[in-house]
Amino acid sequence: MATTKTQNTKLSFEDFKESVISDYKIAVTSRECSLLGRREVLTGKAKFGIFGDGKELPQLAWARAFKNGDFRSGYYRDQTFMMAIDHLSIEQFFAGLYAHTDIDFDPMSAGKQMGGHFATHSLDENGDWKNLLTQKNSSADISPTAGQMPRLLGLAQASKVYRNVAGTEKENFSDNGNEVAWGTIGNASTSEGLFFETINAAGVLQVPMVINVWDDEYGISVHARHQTTKENISEILSGFQRTEEQNGYEIIRVNGWDYPALIEAYERAGKIAREEHVPVLVHVLQLTQPQGHSTSGSHERYKDEERLAWERANDCNVKFKEWIIAQGLATEEELDLLDKEIKKEVRDGKKAAWSAFSYPTQTEQQKVLAILADVISESSNGSFIQPLHTKLSEIKEPLKSDILSTARKALQYTIGESSSAKETLQDWITSYIEKTQPDYSAHLYSETDSNATNIVEVLPEFEAESNLVDGRVILRENFDAIFNSHPNALVFGEDAGAIGDVNQGLEGLQEKYGELRVADTGIREATIIGQGIGMAMRGLRPIAEIQYLDYLLYAIQILSDDLATLRYRSHGKQKAPLIVRTRGHRLEGIWHSGSQMAAAIHLLRGMYILTPRNMTKAAGFYNTLLESDEPGLIIECLNGYRLKEEMPTNLSNIKTPIGVVETVKEGSDITLLSYGSTLRIVQDVAKQLLTVGINAEVIDAQSLLPFDLNHDVVKSVQKTNKILVIDEDMPGGASAYLLQQVLDDQNAYQYLDSKPQTLTAKAHRPAYGTDGDYFSKPSAEDIFEKVYEMMHEVDPETYPAFR
């Protein structure tokens, strides 16, 4: 009630009443969308539904504290909030449920994500940044529970960087760091490791972050007693509560049905985070879930009647209505009438959304039926095509796939025939695929001029007399140039700061550029990546360092589900140009010499995967990515930091091209394709092969995603007629991927006169010690013998049996 008095001192009674009734309208609208949305799923118009019913009231209070420039990193129950900040209409809600592929109808993802996954547009039609300070921002949601937490950390840390690092370019991104990053999570998902990792990291970093825990005591069908110690997340996190002597969190508990208390709680949370730059945990208790977890089942299966009765009585919308009546802001009759009006508005909005979704497909259905009728009349197999026509005509609400599949099946019956109707059908199929496929495939990578593959190579230049330095020095000098010329660039990771990374590639740079731009982190790979994603989404240019390639596994879910999919799932409306730096290959032992390349290639589509053979090439990749606006993973050669390289005179300007291979030795007898540390071994073997009359062509893949956009490898195979792919990944891993690219995409099979082969590591990881590496990964002798064996098979007379 104190909040009510505060409101009345600032607003007239009529203004206050109008504000409350406005909230009530949104709450009822959101609830009706949830109820009607569930019915749309059960009738088959939508595929799956997961809704925000039962969470309406706290989201309305939260929306009042949310300001322009702020960011949300939430999960799939925040529809009321999105409606409250005027970024989700009734029609858009249902367009998302139906998976409408037009971004104008489903602005969240253009049908790429299920309903309940929300986003705002950070980019304009050209892919350029909008002014994020003039709008309320929502980072694009992902489904994996707690997956939104690492990104939330980075969104909050951006405010800290903008406030505390002089010289950052803030325009359109930050008002001196006054923005708050707000997160939401269900109580059950707080059991995930990503939640605890983020909570700890935010407490250490002291960033302006508010995390809302919606607590309805269940996780799907599982009660909190099976989820959380003491069944209370804020209770077990009470040790994080800040004191006068120690930093930590401000922890606020509030009941989710108590409107004035919620308003007060969120005003307080926002003020603390915004002004004091500390994290806040808001634990919203006693919420309900009126329809259960999702449309996959009824909550009556796992809740007893006592619990169900309690939920009906304590439903936040019910309690809100009771409070409005008790405060004399409206009568029950007035609210009942308003409820009826809103129900009609939601029904009308649903109908409009369905019409907009279904009309174009029904139009195509009629077009194809007419074409098929002509085909039937002209084809000798018309009697076989007629059932397809009949079946398609009987579908009242066809999918695009129904129409296209029917057309393609009909075409099969016209093999060997020639007619104008068949040509029309073929033209329609080709045109429809060309028009429709991008709705489901576009924006995996940037489709703007800033696409990294558009950046032209700039070769290193050298002095006449060789100036040899350790490879690490080249990296260090390049990073120094980067931080000097890119005011929004920063790097962070384990041991990245004070000691300048474990291989001294950042030596002395923290002292020069400060602890926020060259920063140490805790041992927490997932949130290191999350820091990078969030900061990149707010205009900074972060480089997140994962100390070793093996440790990428700790962060692979965030890399795969969040970073790699961001541009795709937002239909090109958000981006996070994060550079992930790591090092790997050719050391000792299971945990420091792994090759997770196959996993990275297949799980990180949407990122660039770059494997430079030396530090000059690596420096060029950093420069290329910083000129683009896309994320990339750069894997430096772990055993290359102390190897000598020539220092380029134009170091800060060199650009290593992405998607371009390099022929490092020309030859005529066999093509050897490799990358990274293994390439150096291949180069040495190529010299040895010359002594037995084998002139090998050696090609450095350089980047695995994408690979060889110019199709230069097939040109080599056309000359040599043989190919061997060598790497230290597992059998069937990256080498198999490269071979598939050469054979399938480049059609190199037609030039081969022997079986294309791969030479990889053994199926186990290396045992400890140098001998473990020798007996686990391709050695010089392995490569020599494999190449000679392939040559012997083709020309045994010239190359007699080796053994």
- The owner of tokens 């800040």 is 242
Asked whether the beta carbons of 490 and 541 are under 8 A apart, the reply is yes
Q: Quote the Cα angle for 213-215-216, to 5°.
A: 155
Q: State the DSSP H helix or E strand holding residue 219, giving kind and residue range, or none if neither.
A: strand 218-219
**Measured between alpha carbons, how far is 476 from 494 in angstroms, rounded to an integer?**
17
**Measured between alpha carbons, how far is 615 from 474 in angstroms, rounded to an integer?**
6
- The owner of tokens 């921002």 is 137
Six-digit token string for 344: 């009609």
**Measured between alpha carbons, how far is 31 from 37 in angstroms, rounded to an integer?**
10
The residue type found at 343 is: K
Six-digit token string for 79: 């529809």
**Measured between alpha carbons, how far is 141 from 136 in angstroms, rounded to an integer?**
15
**Measured between alpha carbons, how far is 4 from 146 in angstroms, rounded to an integer?**
35
The residue type found at 469 is: V
**Sign of the CA dihedral with 441 first, then 739, 586, and 638 last:** negative
Pairing of strands 608-610, 703-705: antiparallel
Q: Alpha helices of 304-450 — where are they, by DSSP H?
A: 305-314, 316-326, 332-378, 382-393, 400-412, 420-441
Give catalytic residues, as residue numbers. Answer: 592
Within 13 Å and on the Cβ side, how many CA atoms surround 705?
23
Q: Which residues of 510-534 are buried (b: 16+ CB within 10 A; e: fewer)?
A: beebbebbbbebeebbbbbbbbbbb
Instruction: Give the residue from 482, 549, 468 showing the smallest Cα distance to 513.
Output: 482
**Measured between alpha carbons, how far is 372 from 499 in angstroms, rounded to an integer?**
72
Q: Report, in angstroms and rounded to the nearest whole number, the Rg of the chain calculated over CA atoms.
A: 30
Q: Which residues of 733-751 are buried (b: 16+ CB within 10 A; e: fewer)?
A: bbbbbbbebbbeebebeeb
Instruction: Give the residue from 140, 153, 74, 142 showing the smallest Cα distance to 524.
Output: 153
Query: From residue 528, how far is each of 154, 298, 476, 576, 717 by CA, in Å?
Result: 9, 39, 21, 14, 42
Asked whether the beta carbons of 100 and 556 are under 8 A apart, the reply is no
**Measured between alpha carbons, how far is 273 from 279 in angstroms, rounded to an integer?**
6
φ, ψ at 138 (rounded to 5°): -130, 120
The residue type found at 402 is: D
Asked whether the beta carbons of 552 and 559 are under 8 A apart, the reply is yes
**Measured between alpha carbons, how far is 610 from 702 in angstroms, rounded to an integer?**
6
* Residues contacting residue 721 through CB under 8 Å, at least 6 positions apart: 751, 752, 753, 754
Residue 706: is the preceding peptide bond cis (ω within 30°)?
yes
Asked whether the beta carbons of 314 and 286 are under 8 A apart, the reply is yes
Q: Dihedral, CA atoms, 8, 14, 15, 20, nearest 10 degrees?
A: 90
Within 10 angstroms of residue 644's Cβ, the number of other Cβ atoms is: 11
Asked whether the beta carbons of 737 and 598 are under 8 A apart, the reply is yes
